[in-house]
Amino acid sequence: MNWGDIAFDWNQVRAFLATVEEGSLSAAARALGLTQPTLGRQVSALEEELGVQLVERSPKNIMLTPVGEEIADRARLVLSDIDQIRAVARRSGNPAEGTMRLGLFPTLAPYLLPHVVPGVRERYPKLKLQLSEEKTEDVLTMLRQGELDAGILALPVNEDGLHKEILFEEPFVMAMPATGCEIGTPASISERQPPHTLAIDELPFDSVMSETMRMV
């Protein structure tokens, strides 16, 4: 076989990946809005085009063959690149239209987004924000894999290949009684009070954010 002569039908590749992700032809067909016979034909057509068996079929589920596992990994990367190419093409016409995929860590989202999202929607009404609240390492992984366009993270972030911009700085402060406690005067063991841990919803984030956020 001359591999250079293979003409990929990317709908077949997407059908194959959906089958892998969903674990069965029936579930993949539902996810893509296709009938099961149609999806099965697309997967079979891809196998015929490549000249290899990608999946082992059974009445209840499917299993990837070794070559199917490798092709699935590479197909995810290729389809991600294709989606990014399409997104670049759409944004080149009008950067304020299309979808912006933004990731940020959950402890920041409920305090930052209410200040930012209304202004973005007002200024860019045709821009759709697709928000993902994930752990920092997951946001970085999604950025590397092309699943996000940008992420909002706490510095430092030691990750090569990413362009970084400082959006704001938020200082940490210590709160203590106005009287009865002087800095630099150690208290005896008997005078020390047991520590009290504040729940996150006890902190005055709205006032702190409005007073200390410095947008760059």
pLDDT tens-digit series, residues 59-68: 677 889 999 9
Could you say which of 3.40.190.10, 3.30.2130.10, 1.10.150.120, 3.30.465.10 is the CATH number of the domain covering 94-152? 3.40.190.10
Q: Where are the domains of the chain?
A: 3-87, 94-152
- Residue 138 token pair: 């997951």
**How confident is the model over 142-179, as pLDDT tens digits?**
888 888 888 998 888 887 778 888 888 878 787 777 77
CB within 8 A of 18, min separation 6: which ones?
A: 28, 31, 32, 39
pLDDT bin (cut points 50, 70, 90) of residue 196 is: low
Residues 28 and 34: their CA atoms lie apart, in Å, by: 8
Same fold, 3-87 and 94-152: no
Percent of the chain with pLDDT over 90: 17
CATH of domain 3-87: 1.10.10.10
Residues 70 and 172: their CA atoms lie apart, in Å, by: 48
Output b/e per residue, 84-95; b: 16+ Cβ within 10 A.
Answer: eeebeeebeeee
Maximum distance among all Cα pairs of the chain, rounded to whole angstroms: 85
Give the pLDDT of residue 144: 85
Give the pLDDT of residue 52: 93
Residues 204 and 138: their CA atoms lie apart, in Å, by: 28
Name the DSSP letter for residue 202.
Answer: G
Strands lying side by side in the sheet with 98-104 = 127-133, 98-104, 150-152
Q: How large is the average pLDDT for residues 87-104?
A: 75
**How confident is the model over 32-50, as pLDDT tens digits?**
898 989 999 999 999 999 9
- Residue 120 token pair: 């973005």
In terms of pTM, does the model score above 0.75? no
Q: How large is the average pLDDT for residues 82-94?
A: 72
